[in-house]
Amino acid sequence: MKYYPVVFILLFANACTFSSKKAETIIPERKYQVTGSIERIDPALNSLISEDAEIEILASGFDWSEGPIWIEDQQALLFSDVPENKIYRWSEKDSLSIFLEPSGYLGERMDKHEPGSNGLTLDHEGNLLLCQHGERQLGRLKGSLQDPNPQFEILAAGWEGKQFNSPNDLVVHSNGGIFFTDPPYGLDEWDKKELDFQGVYRLLDGELTLQIDSLHRPNGVALSPDEKILYIAQSDAEKARYYAYDLDETGQVISGRILLDVSDRVSEEKKGLPDGLKVHSSGTIFATGPGGVLVISAEGKILGTIQTGQATANCGFDTEEKYLYMTADMHLMRIAIK
């Protein structure tokens, strides 16, 4: 496991330089390539995304980008490339570099199709948490994010003596509980699937509990701002849905419902299925799905779609919600948020 300061493919032009007598660092303004469009269904979308907002391509050339997480003290974004078994770091100042390799599979096989980390987030101490496809576990990166010799700590690797399928996405509750999904996407043909269901789990104070076992393909997971609702995306072409589960005062799932069914939007033209999702501080849900990123009200109404033109895996905000970052197949993208 190493950090590599290797610069990748970055798409920008017309960089401008500035001079100042102050000792502070000034980041040059860059003009990025733009793509896609915004589908506006409800006027409420205009309060979140300006009519002149553009989808920018920040970097490109990935196999399948996933799991973006903003690191505030570095003013940088980390995200996974699952098939390449890597985590990349992008910042406006330093462009792109490999942050961590390997990220999800620590063995020697070279023929695994999705060996790397998938969803990423930080715990309350600032440690990086990873859904590690290849090792079929929920892991934590030991030490600081600048540690030149990182090691992984296993937080959870199975349920009732049986190995997980391939933990996919995760979110941390204010009480420290970690919710994560476990679909089978990271399993290879030779892997033994030990569980006969695809679960949603919670890890709290070292105790693992199964919260949901009724979903066919649970994928992205997020919490409402008041932490009373757990949102889950189901990546199933025939039942392409977003679910809302009520939580009790301790953070346990008590009931659930279909928030939105988008099965009728699935098509060759609208690439992608429900995958990763994040919730804006307003309560609005930004959920990857058919066509790009669907913007959904807390009541389950589609306000519009950020049409990336790619099958879009996940998304995430910076701390101030100035931008929505999107991992869209081979690209890292962003769009300005009001």
Q: In angstroms, rounded to a whole number, what is the distance separating the alpha carbons of residues 80 and 276?
A: 13
pLDDT at 1: 52
pLDDT at 14: 37
> What is the count of structural domains for the chain?
1
Q: What is the mean pLDDT of residues 167-185?
A: 97
What is each CA distance from 142 to 3, 40, 173, 257, in whole angstroms?
14, 43, 20, 37
Query: Does 19 score more than 80 pLDDT?
Result: no
pLDDT at 26: 54
Measured at the alpha carbon of residue 69, what is the angle toward residues 167 and 338, in degrees to the nearest 5?
A: 130
Q: In angstroms, rounded to a whole number, what is the distance separating the alpha carbons of residues 155 and 229?
A: 24
Exposed, middle or buried by CB within 10 Å (0-12, 13-18, 19+), for 54? middle
CATH code at 97? 2.120.10.30
**Cβ-Cβ contacts under 8 Å for 42 (sequence gap 6 or more):** 297, 301, 302, 303, 304
pLDDT at 29: 67
This model's pTM is above 0.75? yes
Which has the closest alpha carbon to 215: 247, 175, 256?
256
* Residue of higher predicted confidence among 27 and 192: 192
* Type of residue found at 17: T
Beta bridge partners of 87: 80, 100
How many residues comprise the chain? 338
Domain that holds residue 131: 2-336
Q: In angstroms, rounded to a whole number, what is the distance separating the alpha carbons of residues 4 and 104?
A: 16
Query: Does 21 score more than 80 pLDDT?
Result: no
* Residue of higher predicted confidence among 76 and 18: 76
pLDDT at 317: 98
Beta bridge partners of 247: 253
Query: Does 2 score more than 90 pLDDT?
Result: no
Query: Does 28 score more than 80 pLDDT?
Result: no
At 148, the pLDDT band (50, 70, 90 cuts) reads low
Cβ-contact 61, 8 below 8 angstroms: yes
Helix (H, G, I), strand (E, B) or coil at 44: helix
What is each CA distance from 242 to 5, 31, 233, in whole angstroms?
38, 35, 4
Q: What is the mean pLDDT of residues 51-65?
A: 97
Q: What is the mean pLDDT of residues 138-148?
A: 81
Q: Which two tokens stand for residue 305?
A: 């779609």
At 145, the pLDDT band (50, 70, 90 cuts) reads confident
Helix (H, G, I), strand (E, B) or coil at 127: coil
**Cβ-Cβ contacts under 8 Å for 201 (sequence gap 6 or more):** 156, 159, 179, 180, 182, 208, 209, 210, 211
Q: Which two tokens stand for residue 18?
A: 């500035």
Q: Which two tokens stand for residue 270?
A: 């609208």
pLDDT at 82: 98
Distance, first Cα to last Cα, the chain: 38
Which has the closest alpha carbon to 167: 179, 178, 181, 153?
181
Q: What is the mean pLDDT of residues 317-335?
A: 98
Which has the closest alpha carbon to 191: 113, 139, 263?
113
Exposed, middle or buried by CB within 10 Å (0-12, 13-18, 19+), for 224? middle
Q: What is the mean pLDDT of residues 257-269?
A: 96
Structure-token match 């509990």, residue found: 209
Which has the closest alpha carbon to 209: 179, 234, 232?
179
pLDDT at 58: 98
pLDDT at 27: 56
Counting residues of the chain whose pLDDT is more than 90, the rounded percentage is 87
pLDDT at 143: 74
At 216, the pLDDT band (50, 70, 90 cuts) reads very high
pLDDT at 163: 98
pLDDT at 150: 73
pLDDT at 142: 87
Q: What is the mean pLDDT of residues 63-83?
A: 97
**Cβ-Cβ contacts under 8 Å for 291 (sequence gap 6 or more):** 39, 265, 270, 271, 272, 305, 307, 308
At 17, the pLDDT band (50, 70, 90 cuts) reads very low
Which has the closest alpha carbon to 231: 321, 306, 297?
297
* Type of residue found at 272: G
Helix (H, G, I), strand (E, B) or coil at 18: coil
Cβ-contact 64, 329 below 8 angstroms: yes
Q: What is the mean pLDDT of residues 316-321?
A: 98
